Amino acid sequence: MNRFEGKSIIVTGAGSGIGRASAKRFAAEGGKVLCADKAASVHETVEAITADGGTAIGIEMDAGSESDVKTLVEKAVAEFGGLDIAYANAGITGGLQGGLFDSDAESWAEVLRVNLIGPFLMIKYAAPEIEKRGGGAIICTASVAGIRSGAGPSSYSASKAGVINLVQTAAQQMTGSGVRVNAVCPGLIETGMTQRVFDYAREAGKMDKVGQLNPMKRAGQPEELAAVVTFLASDDASYLNGQAIAVDGGLSSSHPVTRQLPKQAAV
């Protein structure tokens, strides 16, 4: 497929995980991708794309900095002649220990700056450029942690709940612009953010326990998220707007329950 032939695309958090997988898929389908990340590993993503014959350039930047995001969008326009798609994927956990009474305002502010203000800034600067091209798509990474409690630290969960509302608000405020805004809500995915969990499970011989709470009984892979991200960015999703799509193996489809085992027949 060449759904993104000639399209100018920004992906933040492209140095690893879901961002890297999405950037590679966009490029494999003909897109010209500006890969952005705070980590130098973003250049490895660019090298992988170009080695496969795709078009990509990389930039190190802070997704929660207004000047950096403005520069990022300007670079995409300058390098690729405009902007069609933006994927605001960069995010941080703020640490695995994140109870309401174990954290402070400073750590909360940093998580909100990157995870929520970052997507806001992407929408603010990318949407006008996408509208100039006749419309396109913005995708933001939220999380199942933003849907309800129990899937992440408190500050992280609150920030991702904000992202879900942000895409709804943005979709409404851009009525008639041709710019669609949606979110993906990953469940447990093996990425740099969750690597410690997976490393521990492998070392302890407990990989069979990873993902056991969802009906598919497994964790997801970045490529599975990338498939949904690129769908939302494509014309295949032309009537999808203001939505938050959970990609979690079914985890968020239920409230907590105790699974009942079939009763054994009386002897």
Task: Read off the pLDDT of each residue in 234-253 and give the average, rounded to a whole number.
Answer: 95
In-domain check, residue 86 = yes
Task: Read off the pLDDT of each residue in 72-79 and give the average, rounded to a whole number.
Answer: 98
pTM, full prediction: 0.91
> Would the CA dihedral through 95, 183, 11, 162 be positive or negative?
negative
Residues above pLDDT 70, as percent of the chain: 87
Q: What is the pLDDT of residue 242?
A: 98
Catalytic residue positions, numbered: 156
Domain span including residue 43: 8-189+220-250
Task: Read off the pLDDT of each residue in 75-95 and give the average, rounded to a whole number.
Answer: 95
In-domain check, residue 39 = yes
Residues above pLDDT 90, as percent of the chain: 73
In-domain check, residue 215 = no
Q: What CATH number is given to the structural domain containing 81?
A: 3.40.50.720
In-domain check, residue 199 = no
Question: What total of structural domains would you count in the chain?
Answer: 1
Cite the beta strand spans of 13-111 per DSSP E: 32-37, 55-60, 85-88
What are the pLDDT digits (tens) for 160-189?
Answer: 999 999 999 999 999 999 999 999 999 988
What are the pLDDT digits (tens) for 110-131?
Answer: 999 999 999 999 999 999 999 9
Find tokens 């509208």 and name the residue: 131
Q: What is the pLDDT of residue 116?
A: 98
In-domain check, residue 262 = no
In-domain check, residue 210 = no
What's the chain's average pLDDT?
Answer: 90
User: Do the Cβ atoms of 110 and 128 come closer than 8 Å?
Assistant: no
Distance CA 23, CA 31 (A): 9
User: Do the Cβ atoms of 39 and 16 come closer than 8 Å?
Assistant: yes
Task: Read off the pLDDT of each residue in 25-44 and give the average, rounded to a whole number.
Answer: 98
In-domain check, residue 256 = no
Cite the beta strand spans of the chain per DSSP E: 8-12, 32-37, 55-60, 85-88, 136-141, 179-186, 244-247
Which of 142-156, 198-212, 246-260 has the weakest average pLDDT? 198-212
Q: In 3-state terms, what secondary structure has residue 59?
A: strand
Indicate the pLDDT class of residue 2, thresholds 50, 70 and 90. Answer: very high
In-domain check, residue 174 = yes
